[in-house]
Structure 1
Amino acid sequence: MISKAKNEKGNISLLVMGLMGVTMIMFLVVLSFSKVFAIKEKASTASEQASYAATSVIYELAITAVEDYDSSLPGKIDEIIDKTLQEKIDKKKEELMTFNPFLSENEAKIEAIDAILSEELNGAGLKSEILNEMLLEQLNQADQQIRDAVSGVILSNDGILEGTIVTLLDENQVKVETSARYEALKYDELIPEDKRKLKQKAKGPEIGFIKELKGWSDYPIEF
């Protein structure tokens, strides 16, 4: 009887140890999956924020083109007989915020820029041609500023800059594809380096005035 009891106790101990081992393995698997999702989320955040940062650069350059236009001969003529482009944008922004109080000031400004520039670019004659040329001149020099903005965002989110692709534009939106590096909890050394990158991509808001810009060609920026 004693021998039988000992055997039963030994079997129970082995069963408990086996269950603990299985539980530990399941725990590690769950942690690994959780870490994968966390890294993918990090890459997703980096790509989304980077696409917005690049879009912001484009609008900043558009405002620089507006300032150049307003200080040029067509702008001076407009100032005498009507309003400068900047004044039109400011007025449109106020109107948008009045009719839609849920719009932030920045959202209203972007919508106003899109509306006024689209309207002006659609016009006939020398003024629209000059504005078109000034916008193209600014945007064709955007490469380095966009690189700086995107790299800053990605690195601050622990993303991987190498292999990042910024598409200007995809359906009038800035698209950013980037990745973050995965490290396993166990046996990390067995994972090849090219399998560690978890890629994600995101697009920024639509840039409305680009649709009316003549001579614009979409292109990628690769890191």
Structure 2
Amino acid sequence: MISKVKSEKGNISLLVMGLMGVTMIMFLVVLSFSKVFAIKEKASTASEQASYAATSVIYEVVMESVEEYDRSLPGKVDEVIDKTLKEKIEEKKEERLTFNPFLSENEAKIEAINEVISDELKNGGGPGQGLGLGVRKELLNKILLDKLTSDSTNQRIRSAVADIIMNNDGLLEGTTIDYLDKYQIKIETSARYEALKYDELIPEDKRKLKQKAKGPEIDFIKELNGWTDYRIEF
């Protein structure tokens, strides 16, 4: 009888140990999957934030182009033009904010830039402003094209994207910037996965978890003659 009890206790102990082992393995599997999702989310966040940061650089460059364009036109002091392009953008921004008070200042300004620049590139801003419509359109087109495709702008975009990705623990190597993709900046980047157990068995090329994201559409590019999309790589 005593022997039978000991045997049963031994079997129960083996069963408990087996269940604990299975539970531990399942726990590690769940943790591994959770880690995969967390790293993919990190890469997704990095790509999304980077696409918005790169788009912000574009609008900074556009406003620099606007100021150069305004300086290139005859001055308002001679009553040759009624409003500078910068003034038109500011006026349109205020209109947007009045019409839709839920817009942020930045959102309203971006909408204003797209509308005013698109109109200037199509129509030269309208009649009665000294320079001919064709001349004004060509002048703005050239300034925008030169600045948006300059080495300086490319470097600013690369720097903005790199800062975001590194701050989110992403991998800079292999990151690509499609400038533009359907009038949007598209970023593809990745984050590195490390397993909780047997990490040394995972090949390096299987560790990169890639994610893509696009920034908001840059409407005025549709009216920019001579624009060609291209890719920036790290």
**Deviations, residues 47-84 of structure 1 (Å, cap 9, x unaligned):** 00110011011111100100000111256599743110
SS at match of 1:122: helix
In structure 1, stretches of 5+ residues that fail to align are none
In structure 2, stretches of 5+ residues that fail to align are 124-132
**Deviations, residues 74-110 of structure 1 (Å, cap 9, x unaligned):** 5659974311000000000001011111111101110
**Preserved CA contact (<8 Å) 2:76 2:82:** no
Tell me how far 1:3 sits from its aligned partner: 1.0
State the one-letter code of the partner of 1:30: V
* Residues 108, 28 of structure 1: alpha-carbon distance in 2 compared, 3 angstrom cutoff: same
**Preserved CA contact (<8 Å) 2:97 2:103:** yes
Tell me how far 1:4 sits from its aligned partner: 1.0
SS at match of 1:81: coil
TM-score when normalising by structure 2: 0.92
State the one-letter code of the partner of 2:8: E
Which residue of structure 1 lines up, in the alignment, with residue 12 of structure 2? 12
State the one-letter code of the partner of 2:141: N
RMSD: 1.4
State the one-letter code of the partner of 2:139: I
2:167 aligned to which of 137, 156, 169: 156
The answer to whether the aligner puts 1:217 opposite 2:198 as a matched pair is no
Q: Using the aligned pairs only, state the percent identity.
A: 75
* Residues 44, 155 of structure 1: alpha-carbon distance in 2 compared, 3 angstrom cutoff: same
* Residues 56, 92 of structure 1: alpha-carbon distance in 2 compared, 3 angstrom cutoff: same
State the one-letter code of the partner of 2:186: K
1:184 aligned to which of 191, 195, 198: 195
* Residues 79, 210 of structure 1: alpha-carbon distance in 2 compared, 3 angstrom cutoff: farther
Which residue of structure 2 lines up, in the alignment, with residue 137 of structure 1? 146
* Residues 34, 75 of structure 1: alpha-carbon distance in 2 compared, 3 angstrom cutoff: farther
Which residue of structure 1 lines up, in the alignment, with residue 45 of structure 2? 45
Tell me how far 1:174 sits from its aligned partner: 0.1
**Preserved CA contact (<8 Å) 2:74 2:80:** no
Which residue of structure 2 lines up, in the alignment, with residue 194 of structure 1? 205
The answer to whether the aligner puts 1:87 opposite 2:98 as a matched pair is no
**Preserved CA contact (<8 Å) 1:75 1:85:** no
Whole-angstrom distance in 1 between the partners of 2:144 and 2:211 = 31
Whole-angstrom distance in 2 between the partners of 1:118 and 1:169 = 17
* Residues 143, 170 of structure 1: alpha-carbon distance in 2 compared, 3 angstrom cutoff: same
Tell me how far 1:125 sits from its aligned partner: 1.2
State the one-letter code of the partner of 1:70: D
How many residues are paired up?
Answer: 223
SS at match of 1:199: strand
Which residue of structure 1 lines up, in the alignment, with residue 183 of structure 2? 172
The answer to whether the aligner puts 1:61 opposite 2:70 as a matched pair is no
The answer to whether the aligner puts 1:112 opposite 2:112 as a matched pair is yes
**Preserved CA contact (<8 Å) 1:74 1:127:** no
TM-score when normalising by structure 1: 0.97
Whole-angstrom distance in 2 between the partners of 1:28 and 1:39 = 16
The answer to whether the aligner puts 1:22 opposite 2:42 as a matched pair is no
